[in-house]
Structure 1
Amino acid sequence: MKDDVQINKYLEKAEEAFEENKLIKALDLYNKAYELSNGEDVDTIINLALIYDSLGKSEKAKDYYKEALNIDDYEERAYYGLATIHDEEENYEEAIKLYNKAIYINPNYHKAYFFLANVYDVSGKKDLAIETYEKLLNLNPMDFWANLNLGCIYEERNENGAAYKKFSKALKIDSNNHLALFNMGVIYYKLNMIEKAINFYERAIEKDKNYEYSYLNLAVIYKYTDTKKGIEVLSSGINNCSETHFLYYNRSCFYALIGEENKACEDIIMALKLYPKFLKYILEDEELEKVIKLSSFQDFVAKYSL
C-alpha cells in the first residue's frame, strides 16, 4: 500500500514534468516508479517508451513497448508506439502491420487510422490510403487533416470533384489554414475558374507568407497573360522565402519571356548557387536559350565546373 502511494506520487510528478517538456526529469521519475513497481506497471512502461522516443533513443523505446506487450499483448498503445517508430524509420510494411494491430484491438483508434492512411499514401498504396481516411472520417467527420490529406490524394488522381468536397470540408473546419486555401486554389485552377483560383492563392499567402508554393502557383497563372505581374508575385515570394531556389528559377524564365536576359541570368545563377542540380534542366530549357549564351552565365558555369 505504501509503495502504491509513492508510485502514484512519482507518476503525477513525472506527468507534470513531461507536460512541461522536462524530459530528463520525467524520465528519472518514471524510472523510480518503474523500479518501485518491479517493472509491472504498464502505464509507467508506456511512458518510459514515449520519453525515450522523444529523446531520439528509438531502440530503447522499442524495448519498453515490447516489455509492455509481454505484460499485456492487447496493449494498443504499445502497438501504436512501435508503429510510429517503424514509420519514422520508413519501415512501412512493419508499421502497417502494427497500426492494424492497434486498430484491431481498438476500432476507434483515431490516431492509428490517420497514420496508417499516411503510410499507405507515402508507400504508394493510394486505394488503401483513401479507404483508411474514409474510415477515420466516418468516426470523426471533423478531422481537419484527414479531410485535407484525402483531398490531396483525390487531386493527385485528378478526381477533382471529390477533392473539392474534401477541401471544402477542411475549410469549414478551419477557414484560415493556408494549406486548405492553397489546395482550393489548385482545384479551382484545374476547373479553369481562374479568378477564384487567384483569390484562394492570395488568401493562402495572406495567412502564411512563408509558403513558397502559393507564390509559385499564383505567378504561373500570370506567366503568359501578365508576365510582369507574375514577376511581382515571385519577387514577393523571394523576399519572404529567400532560400527557395525554384522561385529564382521561375523568375528567371519570366524575365527571359520579356527580354530581360541580364536579370534572368542573375536569377538563374542564384538558383544554381542554391541548387546546383538545376544545371541539367537549365541547359535544356528552351525559355532560357538566350540566357545560357550570355558570357556571365558561361563564366559562372566554367568556374562552377572547376
Structure 2
Amino acid sequence: MKDNIQIDKYLKKAEEAFLDNKLVKSLDYYNKVYELTNGEDVDTIINLALIYDSLGKVEKAEEYYKEALSIDDYEERAYYGLATIYDEKEDYEEAIKLYNKAIYINPNYHKAYFFLANAYDLSGQKNLAIETYEKLLSLDDMDFWSNLNLGCIYEEQNKNDLAYRLFSKALKINPNNHLALFNMGVICCKFNMIEKAINFYEKSIEKNKSYEYSYLNLAVIYKHRDTEKGIQILSSGIENCEKTHFLYYNRSCFYALINENNKSCEDIITALKLYPEFLKYVLEDEELESVRELNSFKSFAAKLN
C-alpha cells in the first residue's frame, strides 16, 4: 500500500515535469517509479523511452522500447517508437516493418499511418504511400498534412486534378499555411492560371517570409515578362532566407538577361562560395555564357577547381 501511494506521487510529479518540459526531472521521477515497480510497468517503460528519445539518447530509448515489448509483444506504442528511431536513421525498410506491426495491433493508429506513408514516400514507394495516405484520410478526411502530402505526390506524378483537389482541401482546413498556399501556386502555374499562382505565392510569402521556394517560383513567373521585378523578388528572398545559394544563382541568370554581367558575375561567385557543386551547372548554363567570359569569373573558377 505504501509503495502504491509513493508510485502515484512520483507519477504525478513525473507527468507535471514532463508537461513543463523539464525532461531530466521527469526522467528522474519515472526512474523512481521503475524501481518501485521492479521494471514491470509498461507505461513507465514507454515514458522512459520517450524521454530518452527526446533527450537525444536514442540507444537508451531503443533499449526501453524493446524492454516494453519483452513484457508485452502487443505493445503498439513500442513498435511505433522503435519505428520513429529507424525512420530518423533513414532505415526506412525497418521503420516500415515496425509501423506496420503497430498498425496490425491497432488498425486506427493515426500517427503510425501518417509516418508509414511518409516512409514509403521517402523510400520511393509512391503507390504504397498513396494507398496509406488514402487509408488515413478514410479515418480522418480533415487531416491537414495527409491532404497536403498526398497532393504533393500526385503533383509529382503530374496527376494535377487530384493534386488540386487535395491542396484545396488542405487550404480549407488551414487557409494560412504557407506550404498549402505555395503548392496551390505550383498547381495554378501548371494550369496556366498565372494571376492566381502569383496571388498564392504572394500569400505564401506573407505567411512565411523565410520560405525560399516561394520567392523563387514567384520570381520565375516574372523572369521574361518583367525581369527587374523578378530580381526584386529574389533580392527580398536573399534578405529573408537562410538557404540563399540557389536564389543568388537565379538572380545571376536574371541579371544576365538584362546584360548586367558584372552583377551577374558577383551573384554567381557568391552562389559558388555557398555551394561549390553549382560549378558544373554554371559551366553549361547558356544564360551565363557571357558571364563565363569575364576575367573575374575565370579567375574565381580556376581557384575553385
What TM-score does the superposition give when structure 2 sets the normalisation length? 0.98
> Alpha-carbon deviations, 1:237-283, whole Å to 9, x = none?
11112541000000000000111101101110110111111111101
Deviation, structure 1 residue 15: 1.1
Paired AA for residue 143 in structure 1? D
Deviation, structure 1 residue 303: 3.2
- Counterpart of 1:217? 217
Say if 1:137 and 1:146, in contact at 8 Å, map to a contact too: yes
Paired AA for residue 185 in structure 2? G
Say if 1:243 and 1:274, in contact at 8 Å, map to a contact too: no
Deviation, structure 1 residue 302: 2.8
> Alpha-carbon deviations, 1:151-208, whole Å to 9, x = none?
0000000000000011001000000000000000000000111111111001101111
1:232-247 aligned within 5 A? 232-241=232-241, 243-247=243-247
Aligned length: 305
- Counterpart of 1:129? 129
C-alpha distance in structure 1 between counterparts of 2:243 and 2:292, whole Å: 22
> Alpha-carbon deviations, 1:21-54, whole Å to 9, x = none?
2111111110000000001111100000011111
- Counterpart of 2:229? 229
C-alpha distance in structure 2 between counterparts of 1:237 and 1:55, whole Å: 34
Paired AA for residue 250 in structure 1? N
- Counterpart of 1:71? 71
Deviation, structure 1 residue 301: 2.1
- Counterpart of 2:295? 295
Say if 1:45 and 1:65, in contact at 8 Å, map to a contact too: yes
Q: Which moved more, 1:231-240 or 1:295-304?
A: 295-304
- Counterpart of 2:193? 193
Query: Are residue 82 (structure 1) and residue 82 (structure 2) matched?
Result: yes
Say if 1:49 and 1:64, in contact at 8 Å, map to a contact too: yes
* Structure 1 gap segments, 5+ residues each: none
Secondary structure of the corresponding residue to residue 56 of structure 2? coil
Secondary structure of the corresponding residue to residue 289 of structure 1? helix
Superposition RMSD on alpha carbons, in Å? 0.9
- Counterpart of 2:265? 265
- Counterpart of 1:150? 150
C-alpha distance in structure 2 between counterparts of 1:277 and 1:76, whole Å: 44
Paired AA for residue 109 in structure 1? Y
Secondary structure of the corresponding residue to residue 192 of structure 2? coil
1:40-79 aligned within 5 A? 40-79=40-79
Deviation, structure 1 residue 304: 3.1
- Counterpart of 1:113? 113
- Counterpart of 1:95? 95
- Counterpart of 2:104? 104
C-alpha distance in structure 2 between counterparts of 1:164 and 1:112, whole Å: 26
Secondary structure of the corresponding residue to residue 39 of structure 2? coil
Say if 2:210 and 2:242, in contact at 8 Å, map to a contact too: no
C-alpha distance in structure 2 between counterparts of 1:13 and 1:71, whole Å: 25
C-alpha distance in structure 2 between counterparts of 1:94 and 1:141, whole Å: 28
C-alpha distance in structure 1 between counterparts of 2:9 and 2:183, whole Å: 48
Paired AA for residue 229 in structure 1? K
Say if 1:86 and 1:95, in contact at 8 Å, map to a contact too: yes
Deviation, structure 1 residue 59: 1.4
Secondary structure of the corresponding residue to residue 284 of structure 1? coil
- Counterpart of 2:275? 275
- Counterpart of 1:180? 180
What TM-score does the superposition give when structure 1 sets the normalisation length? 0.98
Paired AA for residue 249 in structure 2? Y
Paired AA for residue 21 in structure 2? N
- Counterpart of 1:20? 20
- Of all paired residues, the percent bearing the same amino acid is 79
Say if 1:17 and 1:23, in contact at 8 Å, map to a contact too: yes
C-alpha distance in structure 1 between counterparts of 2:291 and 2:93, whole Å: 48
- Superposition misfits of 4+ residues, deviation over 3 angstroms: none
* Structure 2 gap segments, 5+ residues each: none
Q: Which moved more, 1:112-121 or 1:237-246?
A: 237-246
Paired AA for residue 203 in structure 2? R
Say if 1:231 and 1:254, in contact at 8 Å, map to a contact too: yes
Say if 2:46 and 2:77, in contact at 8 Å, map to a contact too: yes
C-alpha distance in structure 2 between counterparts of 1:50 and 1:259, whole Å: 58
C-alpha distance in structure 2 between counterparts of 1:57 and 1:243, whole Å: 29
Say if 1:216 and 1:234, in contact at 8 Å, map to a contact too: yes
- Counterpart of 2:254? 254
Q: Sort the Cα spacing of 1:277 and 1:171 in 2 relative to 1 into closer, same or farther, 3 A.
A: same
